[in-house]
Amino acid sequence: MLTPIRVRGRRTKRPAPTEDAGPQLKRSKGRGGRPLMSLVERYNFSQSQATRRAQRLIAKPPKQPLKKLSRLETLPVELIEKIFLLSLNVNLPRASASLAATVSSERIYRALILFAFWNDVPSSTGPFDAVSATAIAKILRPLEYIPLDLNERAALQSAILRCKWCTVQRLLSRFPDLMGLSIQRYWFSAGIAMTEDQEEKLRRFLAREEEENETRSFEGTDKDNNHYTLSVSPLVSVTVTCHETETAQTHRILGITEFPERFLKGGNGFTSETIAYLETLRLASGFNTSELMETHVALSRDALQKGIHAALVEHNAEALTSLLKIDEYHFRCRNTNVAVTNSVPYTIPAEHFRTAVRVARNEPALFQLLVRASAESVPADDSDITQWAMDLDDSFGQWLLDLMLQLPQRIEAANANPAEGAVFYLGRANGQVELARRYLNEVLGIEELGSWMEETSHDFESQWRSL
C-alpha cells in the first residue's frame, strides 16, 4: 500500500534558458578568508588556546578577609613584653602568631630563665642595698624583679621546661648570669665591701679573664670590720665564710625544684650537652655529698628508670653513672634513715641487669655500674646472668656468682642497716662486708672505694670558660 505524500504549495519548474536571454554570467571562484598559517604560527596559536582553556578551568580561590587584630595585639611591643613578664603565663604566645612573634626574643627567654632558676632567699641577707639592687635590676632587665615563693617558682620552672625554646644550650648559657646574681645577693647585699684590687680580681673572674691558676676566693669586710671570704665553685655554688664566727654558708646558684623528665628519659639520646646539664643539675641540687640531706627537688622515678634503660642500650656509661647517682641519692634522702633500722631498702629494677647482659655481653663495665648502685638488686635465679657470669671466666664473674648465692643474707643485712650492711652504699664499698672486700681486692685490685657522689666526669672548669 502506497503512502500518499502530502506537499504544501505547488512546485514550479524554472524556465529553461532561451537563446534570447543573452549570455549567462559565471560566478567567480576566487579564494576568500584568511591566509593559511605557518606551522610555527599554528603551534603558538594552539598553545595559547590551551592556556586560556586551563585558566578558565581553574577556580579562583575566594578572597580571605583580612584578620582583624585584637586590642592586645595592636599594643606597642614594649607594652606586650611587660604584660607577658608580669603575667608569667607561657600560654600567652600560643594565643596568636602575632603575640608569639612579639615575645619570642632572646632577651625574653633570658629573663624567664633567670627568674625561674635563680636561687634567691631574700630573708637570708636582708633587703637589697641601693648599689646591689641596681646591679641585680641590670642583670634581670627587662624583667621587674618580684621574688617568687617555692610553689610559684616550681610552677614557672615546670612550664618553661616544657617549652620547645628551652634547650639545654640556652639553659647552660645563662649560668654565668645566675652566678653573678648569687654573688650580688649573698655578698654585696650583705653589706660586704671589697678593696679595689679584690673587686678587680672578681671582675676578671666573672668576665673569664682570670689567669689559669688564679684562686677563686675573694676577701671583704662588713661595717663591723668582720672579715669574710667568698669562695666560688663555677656554675655550682658560692660560699661565704666569716672568719670571726668561723661559720660558712653555701648557696646553690640554681634553685632547682624538679628534674625535667625529658632530660631524664633521654628520648633523643644522651648527648654530651644533656649529660653536662644533668650533672650540673645534680650538683646544683646538692646531690654531690655522702651526707643525706632533706631535699625538695621533685623527681619522676619512672622517667629516670626509662633513662637508665636508654643509657644501657646506647652503651653510654657516663649517662648511666649520672642517672644512677641521681636515683640513689634522691631515693635515700626521701626513704632512708640511718638512725632507724629496717628502713625502706633502695633497689633498682632487675630488668636493668638483664638488659646490660643482653646488649653488652662483652662489656661488663655497665653491669658493674649497676652493681655499685645496688648489688642487692641482682636477680638471684636468672639463668642468663648466671651463664654470662660463667662465660666471663674472670674474677668478676666468680665474684658475681658468689654474690648471687649469698643474696638472701645480703638483702636482709642491707635492709637492717643500709649504710653498713649493704655491699655498696652511695657508691662506697663497705669494708666490713666480706663481698665488698673481695670486690676491692680481686676485681678492682685496690684497697678502698669511696663514695661516688662527689665524683663527676664533667669538666665544669672548661664549661665555665667556654660560656
Confidence of residue 309 (pLDDT cuts 50, 70, 90): very high
Per the DSSP assignment, residues forming a β-bridge with 424 are 429
Question: Given this model, what pLDDT does residue 62 score?
Answer: 65
Ramachandran region, residue 296 (left: φ > 0; alpha: ψ -120 to 50; beta: rest): alpha
Whether residue 373 has pLDDT greater than 90: yes
What pLDDT band is residue 337 in, cutting at 50, 70 and 90?
Answer: low
- Backbone φ, ψ for residue 382 (5° rounding): -90, 120
For 182, counting Cβ atoms within 10 Å of its Cβ (0-12 exposed, 13-18 middle, 19+ buried), the class is buried
Regarding predicted confidence, which is higher, 14 or 226?
226
Quote the pLDDT of residue 125.
Answer: 46
For 140-153, give one letter per residue: b (16+ CB within 10 A) or e. beebebeebeeeeb
Range of weakest confidence among 77-81, 322-326, 342-346, 407-411? 342-346
For residue 17, what pLDDT is reported? 59
CB atoms within 10 A of CB 339: 6
* pLDDT greater than 80 at residue 394: yes
Residue where the block lists cell 640513689: 328
Residue 403 has pLDDT above 50, yes or no: yes
The model's confidence at residue 21, banded by pLDDT at 50, 70 and 90, is low
pLDDT for residue 49 = 82
Task: Flag whether pLDDT at 458 surpasses 90.
Answer: no
Residues 49-62, mean pLDDT to the nearest whole number: 73
**Least-confidence region, from 5-19, 73-87, 314-328:** 5-19
Sheet hosting strand 247-252, strand order edge to edge: 217-221, 227-233, 237-242, 247-252
- Cis peptide upstream of residue 408 (ω within 30 degrees of 0): no
pLDDT at 353 over 60: yes
Residue 327 has pLDDT above 70, yes or no: yes
Predicted confidence (pLDDT) at residue 161 exceeds the cutoff of 60: yes
User: Quick one: DSSP state of residue 419?
Assistant: H
pLDDT, residue 129, reads: 54
Cβ within 8 Å of residue 274, ≥6 positions away: 168, 263, 266, 319
**Which residues, at least 6 apart from 398, have a Cβ–Cβ distance to it below 8 Å?**
389, 442
Confidence of residue 301 (pLDDT cuts 50, 70, 90): very high
Q: 241 pairs with which residues across the strands?
A: 229, 248
Q: What is the largest CA-CA distance in the chain?
A: 155
Torsion of CA 224, 201, 281, 320, to 10 degrees: -130
Which residue spans within 253-337 are E strands per DSSP? none
For 94-137, what is each residue's pLDDT tens digit?
888 888 888 888 988 998 998 888 877 654 444 545 556 677 77
Confidence of residue 405 (pLDDT cuts 50, 70, 90): very high
- The residue among 200 and 132 whose pLDDT is bigger is 200
Q: Which residues contact 150 (CB under 8 A, 6 or more apart)?
A: 257, 296
* Residue 371: its H or E element: helix 364-373
Average pLDDT over residues 252-275: 86
CA distance 207 to 209: 5
